Amino acid sequence: MLYYLHIPKSAGTSVRELFQQVYGKKLVEVYGRMEPAYVESLKPLCHKDSVLFGHYSFSLHVRMGDPEPQYMTILRNPIDRVVSWYKGKIRDPKEQHAERILRDRLTLAEAIELGFAPELNNHSVRVLTGRGRRPILKLKHRALNVYSSRLRGKQIYQYNAQRYLDTAIANLNRYFCFVGIVERMDQLTQFMAERGDLTGADAIMPRANVAPPQDVKIDSQTLEVIRKANELDMALYEMVAGKLRAGESWYPLQPLSRSLLRRVAVSRLSIPGPGIARGVSP
């Protein structure tokens, strides 16, 4: 099956509209909590040609019992993504975390310092590491959240260690057939055309969920807070964007460390795979 990881605030709504047009009934939207009952409810909806699209972490294929998955995603500059996330909260009080931000009049920098939302801390890398795929890892992360809240002043555990970035890179190299950036959405339609999923005449990317302008001042101090909390995402984005802008394929990505200790850590976090990724032609 084909899996599209919709990283929030990374043009996912536009991509979903395109996928709805192209894949029709093959498209299975995945936006529920990844509890066992919900995952089981997805299985009768899926077959080998299904396209699973939504907010979920890498490794869903393990829980779906899929031996031949192919993943896709699009990355966005982490600074733009985090600012867009915050604007969405103050624009819509019904959004998750919006009530607290509006009630306490939290600035973006204050929200990041409190560390209560995963979207504010290396969220792309969080999604791509596939955390929580085994019950023991879920228990581990719950314990880490308690530790972070009581001793670190952050309400959820912060993903800042380099091993998470190298794990995300390992998963991308093994399982992803396409990784793009928001600035080059044309490469997604090009890739889909190369797969035979659409023709050149159909390769028009919709523009959906475009937010109206908002006066949210982002000063240099706030920018520094965003960068510090999203260093792994910044490194990953710049790695992919740099290759695409140079006219190269995103694949393969090189890990930042090749030390034995780091390889052991990555092997424990990542999922062994056949290395199917190749990416769109430059």
pLDDT (0 to 100) of residue 58: 95
Question: Is residue 252 reached through a cis peptide bond, with omega within 30 degrees of 0 on the bond before it?
Answer: yes
**What is d(CA 25, CA 4) in angstroms, rounded to the nearest whole number?**
15
Taking the CA atoms of 168, 169, 170 and 172 in sequence, report the sign of the dihedral they define. Answer: positive
Alpha-helix residue ranges (DSSP H) falling in the chain: 12-23, 36-42, 60-64, 78-91, 98-103, 108-114, 123-129, 135-147, 162-175, 186-195, 220-229, 231-245, 260-269
CA separation for the pair 206, 137 (Å, rounded): 38
> What stretches in the chain show pLDDT beneath 70?
131-142, 145-147, 149-152, 200-204, 208-215, 262, 274-282
pLDDT of residue 45: 97
- Retrieve residue 49's tokens: 């040609």
What is the rounded (10 degree) CA torsion for 46, 39, 168, 273? Answer: -60
Q: Please name the helix (run of DSSP H) or strand (run of DSSP E) that holds residue 176, with its range, or none.
A: strand 176-181
Following DSSP, what letter does each residue of 37-81 receive, concatenated? HHHHHHGGG--TT-EEEES--TTHHHHHT-SS-EEEEEE--HHHH
State residue 280's pLDDT score. Answer: 44
What is the dihedral angle through the alpha carbons of 26, 32, 33, 37, rounded to the nearest 10 degrees? Answer: -70
pLDDT at 214: 63
Could you please state the CATH topology (level 3) that the domain comprising 2-269 is classified under.
Rossmann fold (3.40.50)
